[in-house]
Amino acid sequence: MERETAEVNKGEEIGLTQPVSLTLPSSPGYVLLARLVVAQVGRLAGFGPEDVYDLKLAVTEAATNVIRHAAVESYEVEYRVFPRAVEITVIDTGGGFNVAGLTRPPEGQGGFGLAVIRDLVDELILDSTEGGGTRLKMIRHASLPVNGPET
């Protein structure tokens, strides 16, 4: 039996007009699946290993926040691939929260997930309404090669 493999050709334009979407049970055991998909999405976008690692960590933090705080049975993760950029949106239909309340420092344990995510992505858009769920969009561009931009 032959195995099919996907290859990304150098210089080939990558971009998906429609997102790749996963609906995951709100259980820590499924976070690995979200990480595996984001790793492949990062590679398709031309990310190096360090950038892929950052994407995996950001998705882990976002999914963990949903599992800990949203009190939902499942949540959705959408991935969009662009040339040298990735957009990931984590959506839940939980109780939501007051985003303005996040400006205060965390009390006790926890509360650092969004701060970690902000450090890992180039742009973070957080939309949540009490009683209306939460949408967290993360955008990350691939780092420039160590030798600078290609000429």
Euclidean distance between CA atoms 39 and 57, whole angstroms: 10
102 within a domain of the structure (yes/no) = yes
In the chain, how many domains are there? 1
101 within a domain of the structure (yes/no) = yes
Euclidean distance between CA atoms 46 and 64, whole angstroms: 26
pLDDT for 103: 53
Query: Long-range pairs for 53-56 at CB < 8 Å and ≥24 separation?
Result: 54/120, 54/121, 54/140, 55/86, 55/88, 55/120, 55/140
4 within a domain of the structure (yes/no) = no
Please say if the pLDDT value at position 106 is more than 70: no
Average pLDDT estimate for 84-92 = 97
15 within a domain of the structure (yes/no) = no
5 within a domain of the structure (yes/no) = no
pLDDT digits (tens, 9 = 90+) for 111-132: 678 899 999 999 999 999 888 8
pLDDT digits (tens, 9 = 90+) for 23-77: 999 999 999 999 999 999 999 999 999 999 999 999 999 999 999 999 999 999 9
Q: Domain holding 111: CATH number?
A: 3.30.565.10
3 within a domain of the structure (yes/no) = no
**Which domain, by its residues, includes 43?**
20-141
1 within a domain of the structure (yes/no) = no
Q: Strand, coil or helix: what is 151?
A: coil
With both helix axes pointing from N to C terminus, report the angle between 113-120 and 49-69 in degrees, rounded to the nearest 10: 160
Which pTM was predicted? 0.81
Euclidean distance between CA atoms 90 and 137, whole angstroms: 7
